[in-house]
Amino acid sequence: MLDRQDWLQEEILRFKREKDVLILAHNYQIPEVQDIADIVGDSLELSLQAANTQRARIVFCGVYFMAETARILSRKPVLMPVESAGCPLANMATAEALRQWKVEHPQAAVVAYINSSAAVKALSDIVCTSANALKIVQTVPQNEVIFLPDQGLGSWIAEQTDKQLWLWPGFCPTHYHLVPNDLARARQLHPSAKVLVHPECRHEVRALADAVLGTGGMLRLVHTDPAAAFIVGTEEGLLHRLRKENPGKEFFLASPLLLCPNMKKTDLASLHRCLAENCTQIEVPSEVEEGARRALERMLSIS
Ligand code: CIZ
């Protein structure tokens, strides 16, 4: 007899075929969800897949702003197994506050990190992800840039450009758990390992790393880098792909606190329920949809 996990997997695959669904999963999802998804990736990769899919509908395993982005770009029904899976960083910037900030800096371009609401994207000139933020900031014609909502990624970009960046004081609570002492301890335990950290980390943490990269960049670097061991300073879900795709290499999480509770809300049971019962579709208010799509499509056109 099939055990529960095997049964859930078979049923998910059956519903996926019957309902012509594309299952997208972010790199931070739990291993069982990553393994059953059609595509696993970072926001940029998943946005491109959503924009180009021929499937009838999308089930997005990630957090709310990602499903909202998939809905805007694909114009297709997008379902999310657990709608309460939000992003505290995205919730730190409101459209109302951005409106006021634009009045204070009328010459500035607005670059919104993809970890933001559709309403914030709609008021922005262009969107960026951790994979393309520097390129996007360099591409906008203005020398002044309002960058929101992540001050970690924003300050990382500010260190690499001559442009004047106005940074919103938002932060990712998960990446902010990582502190310099964690890296010192991890280096002591694994002296030959390379340290990779995410740009959402604090400045003091980034300064101690061997490389600062988004999840897609970390995956690419590890494939080609001769090092045999890596200390990883991002959400622990990425370790599943790193280990699966690099069986000869070792990976150590830089801190046990690098765990996003929202990314862990989706599991096989909630994914199955979503497919079986057609859970609620993500709705984007019509007054923001077009503006957010324009800012997202600008990003895709130069990525
Ligand atoms: O861009 C993304 O997907 C996020 C939020 C993190 C990363 O680096 O993949």
State the distance from the centre of ligand 1 to the C-alpha of 287, rounded, in angstroms: 27
Rounded CA Rg of the chain: 19
State the distance from the centre of ligand 1 to the C-alpha of 180, rounded, in angstroms: 22
- Distance, in Å, from the CA atom of 160 to the CA atom of 214, rounded to the nearest integer, reads 16
Residue 174 has pLDDT above 90, yes or no: yes
Sign, CA dihedral 194-235-28-271, equals positive
Whether residue 43 has its Cβ less than 6 Å from ligand 1: yes
Closest CA to 90 of 66, 71, 60: 66
State the distance from the centre of ligand 1 to the C-alpha of 66, rounded, in angstroms: 10
Whether residue 116 has its Cβ less than 6 Å from ligand 1: no
Residue 1 has pLDDT above 80, yes or no: no
Q: Do domains 4-86+264-277 and 178-253 have the same CATH topology?
A: yes
Closest CA to 217 of 88, 42, 76, 92: 42
Coil vs helix vs strand at 223 = helix
State the distance from the centre of ligand 1 to the C-alpha of 147, rounded, in angstroms: 16
**What average pLDDT does range 1-18 have in this prediction?**
94
Residue 44 has pLDDT above 90, yes or no: no
**pLDDT grade for 88, boundaries at 50, 70 and 90:** very high
The class of domain 89-172+286-302 in CATH terms is: alpha beta
61 close to 37: Cβ distance less than 8 angstroms: yes
Whether residue 69 has its Cβ less than 6 Å from ligand 1: no
Whether residue 255 has its Cβ less than 6 Å from ligand 1: no
* Residue 114 Cα: closest atom of ligand 1: 1
**Amino acid 31: pLDDT:** 98
90 close to 65: Cβ distance less than 8 angstroms: yes
The answer for residues whose C-beta is within 8 angstroms of residue 82's C-beta and 6 or more apart is 265, 266, 270
State the distance from the centre of ligand 1 to the C-alpha of 226, rounded, in angstroms: 24
The class of domain 4-86+264-277 in CATH terms is: alpha beta
- pLDDT tens-digit series, residues 222-264: 999 999 999 999 999 999 999 999 999 999 999 999 999 999 9
Whether residue 115 has its Cβ less than 6 Å from ligand 1: yes
Residue 86 has pLDDT above 80, yes or no: yes
Question: Superfamily for 178-253?
Answer: NadA-like (3.40.50.10800)
Q: Map out the domains of the chain as residue ranges.
A: 4-86+264-277, 89-172+286-302, 178-253
- pLDDT tens-digit series, residues 23-41: 999 999 999 999 999 999 9
